[in-house]
Every structure is written in structure tokens, then in C-alpha cells.
Structure 1
């Protein structure tokens, strides 16, 4: 059995573009970078991402250039002929699941970063550091693998 699932996280290259097919189906398209190698051999490839239906209609307004997203879906190579007759290919992810940061999922509202800092105190050897911020919002985490429930016997 072959499994075709890809999960990638990165900053969106351009705002999502939405189009509607003649029969009313929504298709949203955006791109994410995939880096490989390191140093002088580092290379960035751009992967096209497509969402369909209600997901495309509802979430496309939140997918803006620079927003960090994580997508999971099926990896395909789309092929077509250019106007000059030559073949072209684009690596594409057919998005099944997307994780947006909380501020991006609020339809583009932005939050100002905190500028006030709490005074730092050095913890003693027996105390854990207490410099964390209780006001940090936590977003749900999307796991990159199928969810399974384990039942105890």
C-alpha cells in the first residue's frame, strides 16, 4: 500500500487567489517554500497549494503573503502544455488540512506585539525559571499523521 501525504510549513509567498468554477465550486491557490540543502548548496523550491470547496471559500481571506501556515495533503505533479506547445510541470499539494496562526484566522486582524518587559530575576538553583508569559495564546496543534484512539483493556 502506498501512502501519499505531505506536511509542509512555511511563510506564504503571495496572497491566496480564489476562483470559482462555472458550477460554483471555489478553488484557492497559494505557494509555500520548501528548502533543501544548506550553506552554499541551499535551494528553495516553491510548492503550489490548492484548496477546494468550503475550505477554500472560508479560509482564503486569511492566507496572506508572509503568514506562516502548515498544510497537509496529497502531493501531485500537475502537467500542462504552454502556449508554445512545450510541456510544463508544477509540484502541487492538494490541501486536506491547514493550520493557521490565531491572528491569521481572525480574518486579517493584527495584534500589536508587547513592548513592556517584566524585570528579570535570576532563579535560584532549586527554582525553575518564571519568565514565561501567562497571556500567551495557544493554538490547537495539527498532527502530521493520522489520529488514532487507543483503548485500554
Structure 2
């Protein structure tokens, strides 16, 4: 049995970057800053999020920089060739569930409180 499950609560590091494809698919990329409760520094951990489909549309419409979010997803490692021609990798969380946790001042009052893909 294998388990690949990530649960995080943090704040959006910027406004969502959304791409619409001719196939009808929607992709939203977003960063999430998560504070460690035991950390002695004020530096958060940063996570790259990849959100697809209707959940991506919810993120595009209601998430703004600083929004408090809860996410559940799976961890994947993306590999790519960097500017220097070297192969690099970065962890990315593919979000399956997005919860908008902020107050009504943080998000639109008509926003969906949580959304599953």
C-alpha cells in the first residue's frame, strides 16, 4: 500500500496564474506560504500548487494574494532543463481539494466555501 497525500493551510503568495486550453481544460498555478509553528524564524515554507478543472476556476475567481487557503493534494516532482542547460527538479502539489478559509473580507461573500475536483 502506498499513500501520497499532502494537507496544508497557508496564504496565497500571489494572485493565481490561470491558463485556458483549447481542449476546455483550465490550469491554475499558485504559490502557498505556510508558517511552521515551531520555527524560530519568520520565514515561511513555500509550495508550488497546480490546480486543474473546476477547482482551478474557483481559485481563479476567488483567490487573491494573501487569501487563507486549505488544500489537499498529492506531491509530484517536476523535472526540467534550467537556463544553464542542467536538469533540475522541483516539488509541486497537485491540488484535489481547495478550501477558502478566510473571512468574508478576504473573499467574495458569494464564494464557494470548499470545492472538490
TM-score range, shorter chain: 0.7 to 0.9
- Residue 8, structure 1, aligned to residue 8, structure 2: yes
Instruction: Write the deviation string for residues 50-78 of structure 1: whole angstroms up to 9, x where unpaired.
Output: 11012212331211100100000001121
8 A Cα contact 1:47 1:90, kept in partner: no
Deviation at 1:23, TM superposition (A): 2.1
Distance 2:56 2:35 in 1: 26
Say what the alpha-carbon RMSD is for the aligned residues: 2.7
- Residue 24, structure 1, aligned to residue 20, structure 2: no
The number of residue pairs the alignment matches comes to: 111
Deviation at 1:80, TM superposition (A): 0.8
Q: What's the TM-score once normalised by structure 1's chain length? A: 0.62
Name the counterpart of 1:61: 61
Q: What's the TM-score once normalised by structure 2's chain length? A: 0.78
Distance 1:18 1:106 in 2: 22
**Structure 1 residues without counterparts, runs of 5 or longer:** 109-138, 143-153
Instruction: Write the deviation string for residues 70-127 of structure 1: whole angstroms up to 9, x where unpaired.
Output: 000001121111232112222211010011036325468xxxxxxxxxxxxxxxxxxx
Distance 2:91 2:110 in 1: 28
Partner SS state of residue 60, structure 1: helix
- 1:1-153 matches, cutoff 5 A: 1-36=1-36, 38-40=39-41, 43-101=43-101, 103=104, 104=107, 106=109
8 A Cα contact 2:10 2:35, kept in partner: no
Distance 2:114 2:59 in 1: 17
